[in-house]
Amino acid sequence: MSEEKGHYTLEEILEQANAWRAVLAYITGKEESIRAFFRDPAVDIIFSGCGSSYYLGIMASSIFQTITGMSARAVPSSEIFLFDKVVFAENRKYRLVSISRSGTTTEIIIARNFAKENYDLKELVISCYPDSELAKGGDEKLIAEKSQEKSVVMTKALTSMLLLAQLSAAIVSDNKEYQKELEALPERGEEVIKNFHSLAKSLGEDGCYDKFVFLGGGPYFGAACEVMLKLKEMALVSSQAFHMLEFRHGPKSVIDDKTLVGAFLSDSGKDYEVKLLEELRRLGASTFVFCDKADEGIKEVADYLVEIDSGLSEMARVGLYLPIAQLFAYYKAISRGINPDKPKHLDQVVEL
């Protein structure tokens, strides 16, 4: 066992493609129970989680709704028992999808018990631990067992549980084309990590930025939030996340020449997003742009470019960008002398 700083985090980031392979193998044979759980199209799906698992819920719910057409949204687990009328409307039927790497976070357990007692709903658990309290109490469970982690910060567990949610959407909607795209992720993931590891390292080690903003719309908003959290947790730097065009409405005031703006470009919003980046560069920001295929317009607004060239749709390729953003946060931590395996004030699980 190595004592090297950040050893587990780095290993877990780099082995993501294999973790996704294990998820793809695991899902085979689970199709019927997944279809049965989501059979009633008239229910609203609530994704619940804390921290990274909540941000994963934001990604998963926007993808799930887009792919299946079923109504889905994400809430932090605590909202379920503290503000249940905000979460659940009268005369609606719900299904709960509880997401937790550990399956033991106190709030998600309270939330599930509260929701089951008061709203008579069925629950699907997405986790990495089959014998956790959360997983054992779920009506259905999907477990990314090979994605259990030693590091406090979540990296491969997050993208593996995201893949479980994406595969569920493909299965429920019987969308073979989407399923095929998801099956291509491990191979694409390996290429992306190989091609952009050194960019993530050099930018992470670059000390000329002191403000970090991550932007994304649709399925990429949750990704922007997650990277914002990774930078805070691993590197202890101040970072923010916004919906892409929302950044114009006030937050752009913080921009100066020490600001790095990370942007996950979508297919749906690309033209607007490129114009926004033009504006932010005029204000002094540097841009760290994630896209699939970069045309001239994108190249002109990107100071640092992660062009993954996967050929995959915007709902399939979300997880491909995350290893590079995680590596960026990892090297930022290392260059600041911080051990990303054991971030300040944090434990792997928050148990109250």
Euclidean distance between CA atoms 159 and 179, whole angstroms: 16
Contact indicator for 45, 172 with CB cutoff of 8 Å: no
Q: Which residue is nearest to ligand F1P (CB)?
A: 51
Query: Which CB atom, from 114 or from 209, has the smaller least distance to ligand F1P?
Result: 114
Site string for ligand F1P, 255-284 (x = CB under 6 A): ------------------------------
Q: Amino acid identity of 27?
A: I
Site for ligand F1P, residues 286 to 325, rule: CB under 6 A:
none
Count of CB atoms situated within 10 Å of the CB of 223: 28
Contact indicator for 105, 50 with CB cutoff of 8 Å: yes
Query: Which CB atom, from 48 or from 286, has the smaller least distance to ligand F1P?
Result: 48
**Which tokens sit at 18?**
């294999």
Q: Longest Cα pair distance anywhere in the chain, in angstroms?
A: 55
283 burial via Cβ count (<10 Å: 0-12, 13-18, 19+) = middle
Contact indicator for 328, 301 with CB cutoff of 8 Å: no
Contact indicator for 126, 164 with CB cutoff of 8 Å: yes
Stretch that binds ligand F1P, among 45-53, 197-205, 212-220, 262-270 (CB under 6 A): 45-53
Q: Residue 105, interface with ligand F1P (CB under 6 A)?
A: yes
Q: Which of 48, 68, 98, 100 binds ligand F1P (CB under 6 A)?
A: 100
Euclidean distance between CA atoms 126 and 102, whole angstroms: 10
Stretch that binds ligand F1P, among 48-56, 245-253, 274-282, 329-337 (CB under 6 A): 48-56
Inter-axis angle of helices 7-14 and 16-27, nearest 10: 50
Q: Which of 13, 108, 261, 327 binds ligand F1P (CB under 6 A)?
A: 108
**Which tokens sit at 206?**
């670059």
Count of CB atoms situated within 10 Å of the CB of 179: 19
Shortest gap between Cβ of 137 and ligand F1P (angstroms)? 14
Stretch that binds ligand F1P, among 7-15, 99-107, 191-199, 292-300 (CB under 6 A): 99-107
Query: Which CB atom, from 53 or from 160, has the smaller least distance to ligand F1P?
Result: 53
Q: Which of 82, 121, 245, 350 binds ligand F1P (CB under 6 A)?
A: 350
Shortest gap between Cβ of 147 and ligand F1P (angstroms)? 11
The SS3 call for residue 148 is coil
Query: Which CB atom, from 105 or from 259, has the smaller least distance to ligand F1P?
Result: 105
**Cα 338 off chain centre by:** 23
Shortest gap between Cβ of 233 and ligand F1P (angstroms)? 6
Query: Which CB atom, from 154 or from 322, has the smaller least distance to ligand F1P?
Result: 154
According to DSSP, the residues that pair with 304 across neighbouring strands are 288
Site for ligand F1P, residues 115 to 154, rule: CB under 6 A:
152-154
Euclidean distance between CA atoms 80 and 233, whole angstroms: 25
Site string for ligand F1P, 152-191 (x = CB under 6 A): xxx-------------------------------------
Q: Which of 66, 68, 102, 160 binds ligand F1P (CB under 6 A)?
A: 102
The tokens 């051990």 sit on which residue? 339
Q: What phi, psi does 149 have (nearest 5°)?
A: -125, 155
**Which tokens sit at 134?**
């959360």
Site string for ligand F1P, 215-254 (x = CB under 6 A): ------------------x---------------------
Stretch that binds ligand F1P, among 51-59, 88-96, 139-147, 306-314 (CB under 6 A): 51-59
Torsion of CA 47, 49, 54, 60, to 10 degrees: -30
Query: Which CB atom, from 5 or from 281, has the smaller least distance to ligand F1P?
Result: 5
Rg (CA), the chain: 19
Q: Point out which residues bind ligand F1P (CB under 6 A).
A: 50-53, 100-102, 105, 108, 152-154, 233, 346, 348-350
